[in-house]
């Protein structure tokens, strides 16, 4: 984690900046300082005052170059690079450029998959979501974004409260759960992310299958086991107190042959 610093009192004329999606937002010079500090820290440079000084130079350059029009995010980043190189901080400039290229690649990947950048997910996270969690159509193409996935899950899971309280505020609960997920404060298990709000609707990851010491019980468990496997869930065979299980060498009533016992069953 990086420490972010208080706002610097620049004599600035700029009050807006244009985002990549065309929106105009408040210009915040401290974000330039934070970006420079982050690049500097990555190469072992920890003098915060120098970062603040460099950030001030960037802001003054922007004020001079853009007296009547609003600079874009790309304009600001370009002048950060030029300022770092001009002042002899090539290592910091290199770290900043590499980070900028990584973010560009991430944005392009998100755009390719139709994913909005407001979730700030890493590239690996996007690839995992695409392969395992996001809904697909019959042709195997992704048909939802991560935000839509979280919305689907929040809507489905929040309805469970109605089972315990008929007057539950489902919209409020849905919003709270949704925000917890998009902020990565809490994430449910994989089957919930995959199946909530779908026709399958299976949210459990593992099943306990009781097995008694009889042909019928054993093959009933095998059948349920096959149904579990086809949906890619885990299982546990339960042979414990309360489950009818013959001890080793107990004689079978009809053939008078001995039972093999629990150890032999689970070992197979």
Q: Does residue 151 carry a pLDDT above 70?
A: yes
pLDDT at residue 237, rounded to an integer: 58
| DSSP per-residue letters across 11-51 | -----EEE-TTS-EEE--HHHHHHHHHHHHHHTT---HHHH
Ranges 16-20, 88-92, 132-136, most confident? 88-92
Q: What is the pLDDT of residues 178-187, one digit of tens each?
A: 999 988 889 9
Q: Does residue 41 carry a pLDDT above 60?
A: yes
Rounded Cα gap, residues 109 and 151, in angstroms: 21
Structure tokens at 62: 């922007």
Which helix (H) or strand (E) segment holds residue 80: the answer is: helix 73-86
Which helix (H) or strand (E) segment holds residue 236: the answer is: strand 234-238
Q: Are 259 and 247 in contact (CB under 8 A)?
A: yes
Q: What is the pLDDT of residues 96-121, one digit of tens each?
A: 999 999 888 877 777 766 665 556 67
26 or 211, greater pLDDT: 26
50-62 residues labelled b (16+ CB within 10 A) or e (exposed): bbbebbbbbbbbb
Rounded Cα gap, residues 195 and 253, in angstroms: 47
Rounded Cα gap, residues 42 and 159, in angstroms: 46
Residue 204, helix vs strand vs coil: coil
Structure tokens at 126: 């996007």
* DSSP 8-state secondary structure symbol assigned to residue 259: P
pLDDT at residue 1, rounded to an integer: 42
Q: Are 8 and 29 in contact (CB under 8 A)?
A: yes
Q: Are 80 and 36 in contact (CB under 8 A)?
A: yes
Average pLDDT, the chain: 80
Please state the pTM of the whole predicted model: 0.52
Measuring CA to CA, which residue among 12, 6, 71 is closest to residue 37? 6
Q: What is the pLDDT of residues 63-103, one digit of tens each?
A: 999 988 899 999 999 999 999 999 999 999 999 999 999 88
pLDDT at residue 51, rounded to an integer: 94
Q: Does residue 243 carry a pLDDT above 90?
A: no
How many C-beta atoms lie closer than 10 Å to residue 95's C-beta? 20
Q: Are 213 and 265 in contact (CB under 8 A)?
A: yes
Beta bridge pairs of residue 24: 18
Q: Does residue 265 carry a pLDDT above 80?
A: no
Q: Are 205 and 190 in contact (CB under 8 A)?
A: yes
Measuring CA to CA, which residue among 170, 183, 248, 173 is closest to residue 213? 248
Rounded Cα gap, residues 72 and 74, in angstroms: 5
* Domain regions of the chain by residue span: 16-111, 123-195, 206-267
| DSSP per-residue letters across 211-232 | --SSHHHHHHHHHHHHHHHHTT
* DSSP 8-state secondary structure symbol assigned to residue 237: E
């Amino acid at each position: 984690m990086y420490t972010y610093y208080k706002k610097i009192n620049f004599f600035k004329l700029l009050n807006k900046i244009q985002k990549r999606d065309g929106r105009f937002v408040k210009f915040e010079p401290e974000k330039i300082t934070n970006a420079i500090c982050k690049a500097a820290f990555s190469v072992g440079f920890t003098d915060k005052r120098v970062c603040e000084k460099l950030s001030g130079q960037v802001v003054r350059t922007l004020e001079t170059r853009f007296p009547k029009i609003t600079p874009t995010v790309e304009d600001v980043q370009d002048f950060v690079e030029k300022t770092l190189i001009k002042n002899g901080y090539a290592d910091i400039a290199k770290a900043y450029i590499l980070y900028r290229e990584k973010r560009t690649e991430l944005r392009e990947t998100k755009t390719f998959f139709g994913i909005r950048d407001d979730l700030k997910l890493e590239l690996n996270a996007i690839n995992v979501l695409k392969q395992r969690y996001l809904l697909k159509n019959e042709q195997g193409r992704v048909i939802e974004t991560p935000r839509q996935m979280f919305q689907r899950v929040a809507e489905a899971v929040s309805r469970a409260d109605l089972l315990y309280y008929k007057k539950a505020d489902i919209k409020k609960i849905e919003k709270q759960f949704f925000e917890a997920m998009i902020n990565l404060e809490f994430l449910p298990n994989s089957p919930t992310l995959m199946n909530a709000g779908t026709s399958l609707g299976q949210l459990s990851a593992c099943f306990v299958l009781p097995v008694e010491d009889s042909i019928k019980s054993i093959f009933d468990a095998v059948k349920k086991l096959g149904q579990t496997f086809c949906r890619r869930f885990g299982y546990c065979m339960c042979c414990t107190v309360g489950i009818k299980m013959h001890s080793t060498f107990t004689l079978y009533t009809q053939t008078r042959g001995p039972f093999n016992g629990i150890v032999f069953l689970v070992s197979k």
